[in-house]
Structure 1
Amino acid sequence: MTRDEMTELPSEWEGRGKWVLWIAGVLSILLGIGALIYPFAASIGFEIAFGVVLLATGLVEIFRGFQLRRFARIFWNIAFGLIAAVTGGVLLFFPLEGVMTLTAILAGFFFAGGIMKIVSAFSLYPRMGWGWMMWSALVSVTIGILMFMGLPGSAFWAIGILIGVDLVFLGVAQIMIGSALGQLEEAHD
């Protein structure tokens, strides 16, 4: 890829791409700050949205299962659909328990991911960068342990804080990309 190709704007972005990214970035940052200020509300909101998605997915899969002609496919589609729909329904009817369960799963994810990163860091040793991987691994393991040991209290803040931090970083990235697009637009004019 040449330098000109790397700095060429996609045609649909010309003139408006910068502003779309800036608006999306500012909204992401504001939502992220909101989630950081009200982490429990963000956690419940995420849990309810996840429940709705699972319930809808389950219902679609059940419907699709009945549309299939082969028995094996019908069984697996309907089985998956039932599991997804029931899980979504449980999350919707028992939101506090759902947040607790999702927090425990997230704690396990951080812990297991951290262990895998430790293995990866040792496989990189003594190459450059292995220490950063080990640092990342220790942070992940620590977050997982703290979230799990903090249950049930950590369920009231963990998911909301993580969503808030993610949204703030996403917003900053969108603004930076929008700024870069603005500079490219000026350079092309």
Structure 2
Amino acid sequence: MNNFTFRSPLANLLSKNWWIVLLRGIAALIFGLLTWFYPFITIMVMVIFFGVYALIDGVMGVIISINGRKNHQDWWLMLIWGIVSILAGILTFFVPGITWLVLITFIAAWALISGIFQIITAIRLRKTIQGEWWMIIAGILSVLVGIILLIDPVQGGIALTWVIGVYAALFGVMNIALAFRLRRFAIHPTN
């Protein structure tokens, strides 16, 4: 029995555009494979994207601050923020390795802190919810990832890109399968 036995606007939209879902899946699969086989390139692309974002963000902050200098007494705060963001963007392009290490350190700290709080929350909720051990296991995994990234940020960063690559490849395969199912629904809507 087809899961799309009912007609809905969303099912119709997706089935008519099944090829877009297919292209999306192929793009995700290619991205995942490239990330897996070329982790250093992936790392550098992420750093470059961050640098471009920081520059654009900084320029917009400076423009906003200059435009607001006559009406707002705290316009200079936005100016400082914009300048710092521009400097971070420029630094990213001249010293990309430092940007990568800082980025990995932030991810490591986030994983470590969020894992600890997840474990604490699960322990406090153990009398209220069932299956709190899943939350504890997730917290422990998060703490372990944080520790690994802090101990060896370069290898941890490569492993992180591999995880992203596996996720993207699986996401791509799932979208490709969905696209063919949507195509079949578009051709035979009652099957």
Shared fold, TM over 0.5:
yes
Indicate if the aligned counterparts of 1:41 and 1:160 stay in contact, CA closer than 8 A.
no
1:60-75 pair list within 5 angstroms: 60-68=60-68, 69-75=70-76
Could you list the runs of 5+ residues in structure 2 that have no partner in the other structure?
Answer: none
Indicate if the aligned counterparts of 2:15 and 2:185 stay in contact, CA closer than 8 A.
no
2:161 equivalent in structure 1: 160
Indicate if the aligned counterparts of 2:28 and 2:168 stay in contact, CA closer than 8 A.
yes
1:128 equivalent in structure 2: 130
Which whole-Å CA distance do the structure 2 matches of 1:144 and 1:8 have between them? Answer: 44
1:103-150 deviations in Å (ceiling 9; x for gaps):
111111111121121122213314322121111111111111011111
Between 1:124-133 and 1:41-50, the stretch displaced more is: 124-133
Indicate if the aligned counterparts of 2:51 and 2:93 stay in contact, CA closer than 8 A.
yes
Residue 118 (structure 1) aligned with residue 119 (structure 2)? yes
Which whole-Å CA distance do the structure 1 matches of 2:184 and 2:33 have between them? Answer: 28
Which whole-Å CA distance do the structure 1 matches of 2:17 and 2:131 have between them? Answer: 35
1:28 equivalent in structure 2: 28
Q: Percent identity?
A: 21
1:63-102 pair list within 5 angstroms: 63-68=63-68, 69-102=70-103
Deviation at 1:158, TM superposition (A): 3.9
Give the counterpart letter for 1:113 in structure 2: S
Between 1:72-81 and 1:47-56, the stretch displaced more is: 72-81
Report the CA distance shift for 1:86/1:112 in structure 2 as closer, same or farther (over 3 A): same
Indicate if the aligned counterparts of 2:108 and 2:149 stay in contact, CA closer than 8 A.
yes
Report the CA distance shift for 1:14/1:135 in structure 2 as closer, same or farther (over 3 A): closer
2:56 equivalent in structure 1: 56
Give the counterpart letter for 2:8 in structure 1: E
1:38-89 deviations in Å (ceiling 9; x for gaps):
1111011101111111111111111121112323342232122112111111
Could you list the runs of 5+ residues in structure 1 that have no partner in the other structure?
Answer: none
How large is the Cα RMSD of the aligned pairs? 2.7
Between 1:39-48 and 1:112-121, the stretch displaced more is: 112-121
1:140 equivalent in structure 2: 142
| Number of residue equivalences | 185
